[in-house]
Structures are given as C-alpha cells and as structure tokens.
Structure 1
Amino acid sequence: MQMNRRDALKITAAWAAAATFMPFAARAGGHGDMYEAEGGEIGIHPVDHASFVMTTPLGTIYNDPVGGAEKYADMPAADLVLITHEHGDHFNLDTLNGVVGEGTMLLTNPSVYEKLPEALKAKAQMIGNGETTEMMGVGIEAIPAYNLTEERKKFHPKGRDNGYVLTLAGMRIYIAGDTEDIPEMRALKDIDMAFVPMNLPYTMDPIAAAGGVAAFAPKVVYPYHYRDQDPKEFAAKLAELGAGSEVKYGAWYGEQHA
C-alpha cells in the first residue's frame, strides 16, 4: 500500500536525521565496488548500460534489469527492483519474470505499472514524480527525469519517467534514469552517490552532464547509460568545474571501458 506524502516525508527525514555518514572506503570487489555504510557495506555491481545491482545491509536492489535473467545468475537474488521508465533498455518483461522471486518487491513509474501483467502488479507499487515511499526500510523519492531540448522531448516527456533518490544505511543515492540537465537534478542536496546518463540524442552529452552534476556535487558519481559517449570527457569537465566529486568507472560495456 502506498503511503501518503506527509507520512513518507517524515520517514525519509527520520532516516536522514539518524544517519551517521561514514567515510567512503571503496575497494574493488568482484563485479564492482564496495563502500562502508551503516550496518555493513554497499556494493555497486554494473551489469550493462543502465542496469546494475546494489547490495546493501537492508537487501539487494536491482535497477532497470534487462538483458535476460542469465546476466544476473552470479548476483544475489533481488529483494527490490526499481524501474525508471518503459523503454526497452530499462524495462523488459522476460528479464523481470526471470529475476523477480516470491519475496521480491517492485517499484515503477505509473506508465510501467500499467504495462505489468497481473502477477507482477501484485508485487509492485507505483510512484510518480515528487512522491515518496518506503520499501524494505529504504526511503525512496521519485525525481523527475525528462528531456529539455525541444527535439528530444519525444523521448522522455516531462512528468512520465522517474529517477530515484534512495536513503539507506546512512547514505543518499541518486539514480537519474534518462534525463537531461534538469533543474530538479541541480537542486538535489546531500547526495553521497549518483548515477548519471550521457548519450545523445536520448539524454545529454558529457559536458551537459558535468554541468548538472557540478550543481549538486555528490561525493561519488558513476557515469552510466553512456554507450558511445566518453565518460572521461565528463570527468575532465567535472574536475574543471571544481565539483570535488570522485568519478568511478563501472564496467557497463566491458572491461575496456572501466
């Protein structure tokens, strides 16, 4: 059952107020990176493009799992699946049916929720831009994700798609989904880790992405969903802007990009 906005905001605020932010101590860990957090570690395990697995002290979170269940065979089972929007590189029913277990919960934007078969709807909540909820002990806020450039608005119209800010284990983690350098991203506060896209024509180029990220200056940022764009161009521009964020290169497209 979805919580009302006032109660959800109270829960999210309580998580943030109680958090004792631990220093980031990343280390290489198999498929990804591990970070010290309250109650244990948070692990970031890139899978492909916009898909990744996040292991946490509260459970395992899959973001936009696509590409077939076999890609997740070596990962812990999903406790929570996040879906940002309906495009095929973010939402795939065959993959979902393969990775969603009996106890798995799903969180989607409204348009994806309406596309789910009844069996998956029974495990799912939907949340729209600006709404908040709590699942698995994780505070979750849906951040708008959309195109600003006129000729790109057809890809991600304002109001349909989600990004997410997760509050868990003493950290605030932003998953941008598919978006350009929007005001709602620039206005974010106290973000410890961010995942930001940069591929044309669907989102933005590395320079625009760096400008947006510099505005909210997360402690750590992962370029993802970049395909043929150069994440190191993003890193150079971000350093030039003096954001102070550490750029991490996940193996989204194979080790040659890491």
Structure 2
Amino acid sequence: MKYSYLSLILVCLLAFSCKTDQKKQTKDTIETNSKDLVDESPSKEETLSIHPISHATLVLSYGSDDIYIDPTGGTEAYKGFSTPEFVLITDIHGDHMDFETLKALDLSSATVIAPKAVIDKFPSDLKIGKSVRLNNGDSITLNGHTFKAIPMYNLRKGALKFHTKGRGNGYVITINDERIYISGDTEDIPEMRNLNAIDKAFVCMNLPYTMTVDKAAEAVLEFKPKTVYPYHYRGKDGMSDVKNFKTLINQGDEAIEVIQLDWYN
C-alpha cells in the first residue's frame, strides 16, 4: 500500500511536469513565431504626408524622401524637413520659381526637375546636385518614384499671355503606386480632363491667371480623382471661393473627397 501511494504521487508529479513543459513549449513557440513574423515583414509601411507651405508651395514626405514643389518663402518655411531629395518647379513666375529660396536651401544632394524655360534661367551661382529637364509628356523614374510632365497653359484669349502651352509643367508623381497630380498654373485643359487613376489632385483656381472655381470643378468632375485639394487660389482680387468649389464637387460626385488645407496662414 505504501508503494501504491508513492507510485500515485510519482505519476501525479510526472503529469504535472509534462503539463508545465507543454505550456512552456506552447508559449515559447508563440513568441518565436511572432518574432519571426516581425522579422520577415517590411520595416514599416511608409505613408505619404502632405505639408502645405503657401499658395503653390508644398512638401510631399515619403519615408526619408522629402519632395519640395515650387519652393518659396525662404529657409524658415522648411524648418523640420530634411534636405530635399527632389525639387519640382512648374513655371518661371516668382510664386513657383524663387531663386532666393533655392539659393538659401541646401540642394547639394537634390535632383531638380523642371521644364526647359525654368532651367534656362538658373543662375550660375545656384548650387544643386543635378537637374533634369522634362518637356510636356516626358517622364522619368528616380529612386522608385515616377515623375511625368503634364501640360499647363491658359485657354481664354485674355489670359494666353500668362501661360503659353509648352512652357510650364504640371506633374503626375507616382509614389508607391499612388498617383498625385500637381496642376501648376493652368485652366481646365483637355490634358487635365483626360487624366485617369489619380489618387490625389492639387488643383489651382485663381483669376485672372488660371481658371474659375466653376471650371476647376468641371474638370475635377471629369477626371475624378479620389481626393482633391484646392490650392493656388489667391488671385488678383482676393481669394477664390473654395467653399463653393467643395459644394460643386459634392453635388456632382459624392465619391470625390475635397480636403481644404491651410495655404494662407
């Protein structure tokens, strides 16, 4: 009887030990598998961030890449941003091509993308990493991002003097399969209306230099971006009615999101 009790105790201890080891093994397996999944996954999915600076000027941030578009406002406007990987310039006017700002920024490692009319005006003391000339319709892929030059010009007879066809560039930038349209100074030209698969669109609307709110809305409702950001809406007679722009878009297609950023703080 004594041995029976001892045997029973021994069996219980062995069962408890096996159960404990099984629990420990299960826990270790879960922890190891979790760690393996983390190691095999990409470091962290990068997201695109949009930073309005002023009027036609913005910064697109993606991972370690900062893309400056029509940089103006001096170095103070870019505190907190890294030195740009790319700089895009749309046209020769001062609210897009500001050489004082370009000279003040550190562009020693930047690639500046611009139309011929802009590059031809680069002063000899402008220090940049390299420049890439894109004509309307041209495209280039750099560091995994694709930049395509889109025409931007005026249609109205009284405004043809402001932006002639072929001089300036709008851009479609493809970043991680997301297509971002920068209109530059333009009216509702066929090349804008025929855009497709645009995720984010920055669309100008100011008189007398570009187009009316109504025409901007008509164009957006035709090429149907997922999201549209009214920008470049300060004109000769003040600010354009961006609230009306949003109303027109919402009435025409509720699927298009209109986001109003603070361009004139």
Using structure 1 for the length normalisation, give the TM-score.
0.81
CA distance in 2, matches of 1:100, 1:162: 23
Residue identity in the other structure for 2:165: K
Question: Secondary structure, in 3 states, of the residue corresponding to 1:40?
Answer: coil
Alignment of 1:150-189 (within 5 A): 150-189=157-196
Give the partner amino acid of 1:71: A
Specify which structure has the higher proportion of helix: 2
Q: Does 1:75 align with 2:44?
A: no
CA contact (8 A) 1:65 1:96 kept: yes
> Which of structure 1's runs of 4+ aligned residues deviate more than 6 A?
none
The answer as to whether partners of 1:58 and 1:136 remain within 8 angstroms in 2 is: no
Q: Answer whether contact 1:53 1:60 (CA < 8 A) is retained.
A: yes
- 2:98 equivalent in structure 1: 92
| In structure 2, C-alpha distance between the alignment counterparts of 1:95 and 1:88, rounded to whole Å | 11
Query: Aligned equivalents of 1:135 and 1:230: distance in 2?
Result: 37
Match of 1:104 among 102, 106, 110: 110
Q: CA offset at residue 226 of structure 1?
A: 0.3
The 8 Å contact of residues 113 and 121 in structure 1, kept in 2 or not, is answered as no
- Letter paired with 1:219: K
SS of the residue 1:212 aligns to: helix
Given the alignment of the two structures, is residue 61 of structure 1 paired with residue 72 of structure 2, yes or no?
A: no
Count of matched residue positions in the alignment of Structure 1 and Structure 2: 217
Residue by residue over 1:63-104, the C-alpha shift from the partner in whole angstroms, topping out at 9 and shown as x without a partner, is: 000121211122232110000000000011110112233211
Q: Are residue 253 (structure 1) and residue 264 (structure 2) matched?
A: yes
Structure-1 separation of matches of 2:178 and 2:49: 13
Shift in Å, 1:121:
6.5
Any residues of structure 2 matched to 1:182-201 within 5 Å, and which?
A: 182-201=189-208
C-alpha displacement of 1:120: 4.0
Mean Cα deviation higher: 129-138 or 164-173:
129-138
Structure 1 residue aligned with 2:244, among 229, 233, 237?
Answer: 233
Q: Is the 8 A contact 1:217 1:243 kept in 2?
A: no
Q: Deviations over 1:126-146 (max 9, x none)?
A: 111111112232111100000
Whichever residue aligns with residue 229 of structure 1, its letter is S
Larger RCO: 1 or 2 (CA < 8 Å, sep 6+): 1
CA displacement at 1:245 relative to structure 2: 1.1
Q: Is the 8 Å Cα contact of residues 66 and 81 (structure 2) preserved in structure 1?
A: no
SS in 1 for 2:218: helix
Whole-angstrom CA distance in 2 between matches of 1:122 and 1:41: 26
Q: Which of 34, 49, 64 is the matching residue for 1:43?
A: 49
The gaps in structure 2 that reach 5 residues or longer are 1-43
Q: Is the 8 A contact 1:60 1:79 kept in 2?
A: yes
TM-score under structure 2 length normalisation = 0.79
Partners in 2 of 1:46 and 1:247 — Cα distance? 15
Q: What is the RMSD of the two structures over their aligned residues, measured on CA atoms?
A: 1.5
Larger Rg: 2
| Residue 122 of structure 1, CA deviation | 5.8
**Superposition deviation, residue 53 in structure 1:** 0.6
Match of 2:137 in 1: 130
The alignment status of 1:224 with 2:208, answered yes or no, reads no
Report the alpha carbon displacement of residue 238 of structure 1 after superposing the two structures with TM. Answer: 1.1
Q: Which runs of 5+ in 1 are unaligned?
A: 1-37
